[in-house]
Amino acid sequence: SQIPAEVKDKDEHDLKILDLLPTKRSATRIITMYLVQMQNNFIQMTNPNAD
């Protein structure tokens, strides 16, 4: 899993603003990268000849 243990083990009362800023290991960046990859995979599946 890409989510760091120190972020994964937190609940909504334990999260700090630094956990959400787009640093390399932040939850926000990990989720954004996952969504970008998922979107690219769907585009590739629906139009395999697209650049």
Give the residue from 17, 40, 37 showing the smallest Cα distance to 27: 17
Q: How many domains does the chain have?
A: 1
Give the residue from 3, 30, 1, 34 showing the smallest Cα distance to 42: 34
pLDDT (tens digit, 9 = 90+) per residue, 4-31?
777 677 776 776 766 666 677 777 788 8
In a domain? residue 34: yes
In a domain? residue 12: yes
In a domain? residue 37: yes
Q: Please give the residue range of the domain that contains residue 23.
A: 5-46
pLDDT value at position 38? 93
In a domain? residue 51: no
Assign 16 to helix, strand or coil.
Answer: coil
pLDDT value at position 39? 93
Q: What is the pTM of this model?
A: 0.52
Higher pLDDT: 1 or 14? It is 14
Higher pLDDT: 30 or 37? It is 37
